[in-house]
Structure 1
Amino acid sequence: MSRFMSTCPQLIVGMGGVKVPCLVDTGSMVSTITESCFLRNFESWGQEQLRSCHWLQLRAANGLSIPYIGYLELDVELCGRVVLGCGVLVVKDPPGGLCAQVPGVLGMNVLSRCYQELFGQHGMSLFDLPVVSQAPSSVFQALQHCCYADSQSVSDQGGRVKVRGRRACRIPGGTMKLVAVTCSAQYSNGTVLFEPPDAGLPAGLLASPSLVPVERGTAYVPVVNVGTVDVLLYASTVIGTVSWVYVVSLPPEVTEVQVVSARVNTQAVLVSPTILEQIESIDLSVLSVGEQDKVRALLEKYLTVFSRHEGDLGCSNLISHDIPLLDDVPVRQRYRRVPPSEYEVVKAHINQLLDAQVLGSTEGGSLLVVGFSLNVCCDTYEAV
């Protein structure tokens, strides 16, 4: 049988100053230790250090639920670096003492953070470092997996930022305004480098490369309108890209100081532009003056057929139709699970559909949705 099986990738990992034998698992999103390991090594910390997170459901690869009693925030030592404040779940011991010798699982939440810190300081040369090249093969391969996943994420998402909201953002002439933008969830709770596109912003707006904090996928980018006419930035307009930044080295005469936080209250007025305003803001500079007048006159003649914004779907009573069913039994389907990272996006989209009256609510507060059902943050939406 030894020819068909190999040993599990294991290593000794420092967690909170305690050496814990761990299984390296790039397929696990979280890192865990068993309850017996917690009682043996961390019980002296007190139960107050063990935090609860009942909102998280932990499942094995076969779909079975894995019970756990809470989580710890531990400093994990890996590849010569100390990754601070890593979340480690404390799971119930499996029957039969299967994890007695290897009570820990080193998951991607620690491996990816270790890779990001090493990559931020050394770039792709991190794989030539002795602490990485001489590490166990399981760790080396796990860091290579993080490198591949990171490159795929960048190529797929591109770090693009778009104007947030459903309405256009008006930037008065001769002013600078902080514009709310959305970006990928991978940049949340960190500071990123914002860069405007090479082709520039619409209508002559200006934005400079700057460091901006991201909270829950939202950042505020300073945009300047150097003209005298108000400019509208419509929802979902791409105004640049963001990327991670790291302090690689500092000149001898420069020292790093503690970050000082300050809260600035800004009042952003979002208005829904009229159809005429949108027609007037269309860039027709490639046409002659006479052709521009003709195009705008044509658009104004049929302005009633245009929607003012994404949620302006309109309604027609010119025709009606019926959908014949086999019986009168309501259609009900099992809800599709939504990842926790997508809760806010899904709820924002549902609110947008409510505002557009695509969805309707019942007396009990449930939403009537045609053709599908969702379960988001304990709110159940039933199909009809």
Structure 2
Amino acid sequence: MVTTVSESFFETLTPSQDLHSLEDFALDISGANDAKVPYKGYGLLDLSIPSLESDTITVPVLVVPDTSYSSTVPVIVGTNVIRHFSTIDAQENIPSCWQQAFTAVSFVQSVPVKAFNHKPFTIQPMQTCTVTGMVRNVGDMTVGVTETSDSAHFLNICPREVHVRPGNTFSKVPVRICNLSVRPVVIYPKSVLCNLKEVEVVGHIDLSDGVHSKSHNQDKTLKDLGITVPSDTLSPLECSKVKTFLNGWKHIFSTGVTDLGCSSTVEHEIELDDPTPFKEPYRRIPPGSYEEVREHIKDMLEAGAIRESNSPFSFNVVLVRKKDGSLRFCIDFRRLNNGTIKDAYALPRIDETIDSLVGSKYFSK
């Protein structure tokens, strides 16, 4: 688990340190609870613990934006640092906080996670993917974190919080693997991917606090946003209350097709019965549509709807004309859908949905 420092703390270091970019890796960094961790880059810092009388070590640290939490806790020491210092010779007068940390990483329950795939598959350089692993005999463990295993040190494991049922002899767990090397990595069936180490969740930190602004649309009126409050069906007091409420949420309204929002509450994952990457052969686009397609791609890139990708998967573009003559940009995911492990989720009954509307006065769409 990585060590993080806040951006303002990083800038106060003497001598000043270089901030390196992570864009080349195209990483989506998440916390153990799968919450997205925004980052500015990383730095290589020389670290020593005076109270432990230890030598200086050079470790990579992730530089994250300032939040209300980082104003009081600017540095979070990861287990990569704690484990290093726990291996030093026994010393006297070790601070209780460090002794507690050493104990936590030394005597925690740990079980190996093995690959659940039936065929070998390859993770290409600079590729990140989620694979299904299996664990056996978790004992009383209910919550664990996936971490790199000594027997599979060549795999870069993204730590994440995993829930398992205690007492089960067999459980499936998702494992996020990032190949930061320049060579492909082959995952063989039943090979060790990582370790699942027991943890106790004491709370969650909102790492995006203060990063996203609510200033969007604040300079626009409700009329500019296309919102009208019906004064013929509402009293003046009700109209005032509705307008006050809507003005407080103007930042969530879209003002155009490229004015898109983003939510990181849930991360969608696609599990395949065969995770081997595949590419669709290129389909010809009509020459008369080249310029229109370029403009459409440019608009989507500027809006943040898409990004450049080096994924080993490739799917064809399907161009469809809308009724108004504008272009609908679609992707042919049929082959991906055919290989997706289906989620047996029962759709709600329409009669129950209609019954739930009984007694309601206002409806929105």
TM-score range, shorter-chain basis?
0.3 to 0.5
Q: TM-score normalised to the size of structure 1?
A: 0.32
Higher relative contact order (CA 8 A, sep 6+): 2
Q: TM-score normalised to the size of structure 2?
A: 0.34
Normalized per residue, the structure richer in strand is: 1
